[in-house]
Amino acid sequence: MLPGYCTLDHDGCVTCSDAGIPVRVVSVDGYDALCEDAAGNRAEIAVELVEPVGVGEVLLTHGGVAIGRVEAEA
């Protein structure tokens, strides 16, 4: 696994063993990104731990902070 990248394992966060939430990036403004979850809920997420990020990327978040990227399955 590359630094800054996570893989979902039963929707758990590999960093802290707590629930991680996958979100899609809608827009980016510096170290913050507007993101949307699967239910359509939007929130500002801190992305400095995984920058740079781009619109359309899927991030794994916990507590309002992006902790990794979710890579698309091949």
In this prediction the pTM is 0.72
Delineate the domains of the chain, giving CATH numbers in brackets.
Answer: 5-70 (2.30.30.140)
Tokens linked to 52: 């740079």
Residue 20 CA: distances (Å) to CA of 29, 30, 47, 53, 54: 22, 22, 14, 18, 20
Could you report the per-residue pLDDT of 7-53, keeping only the tens digit for each?
Answer: 555 555 555 556 788 999 999 999 999 999 999 999 999 999 998 99
Report whether pLDDT(68) > 70: yes
